[in-house]
Amino acid sequence: MARIALKVDVDTWRGTREGVPALVRLLSAAQAGASFLFSLGPDHTGRAILRVLRPGFLQKVSRTSVVEHYGLRTLLYGSLLPGPDIGRREAATLRSVRDAGFEVGVHCWDHVRWQDHLLRHDEAWALREMRRATERHAEVFGSPPRVHGAAGWQFNEGAARAEALLGIAFASDTRGTHPFVPVAGDGSIIGPPQYPTTLPTLDELIGVDGITADNVHEPLLARTERTVQDQVYTLHAELEGMKLLPVLERLVAGWRAQGHALVSVGALHDALRGTVLPRERIALGTVPGRSGLLAVQRAD
Domain boundaries, the chain: 3-298
Average pLDDT over residues 277-299: 94
Q: What CATH architecture does domain 3-298 belong to? A: Alpha-Beta Barrel (3.20)
Lowest mean pLDDT among 48-52, 108-112, 186-190: 48-52
Q: Average pLDDT of 159-171?
A: 98
Q: Three-state SS for 229?
A: coil
Separation of CA 269 from chain center? 16
Residue 178 and residue 140 in contact, taking contact as beta carbons nearer than 8 Å: no
* Residue pair 141/166 in contact by the 8 Å Cβ criterion: no
**CA angle in degrees (0–180, nearest 5) for 239-24-269:** 90
Q: Does the pLDDT at position 293 exceed 80? A: yes
Residue 65: pLDDT band by 50, 70, 90 thresholds?
low
Please give the mean pLDDT across all residues of the chain: 91
- State the pLDDT at residue 79: 64
Strand partners, 108: 39
Interval 71-97 mean pLDDT: 80
One-letter amino acid at 295 equals: A
Q: Convert the pLDDT of each residue in 29-59 to its tens digit.
A: 999 999 999 999 999 888 665 444 445 443 5
The whole-number average pLDDT for the span 143-168 is: 98
**Smallest Cα–Cα separation from 199: which of 170, 226, 219, 181?**
219
- Quick one: what percent of the chain has pLDDT higher than 90? 84
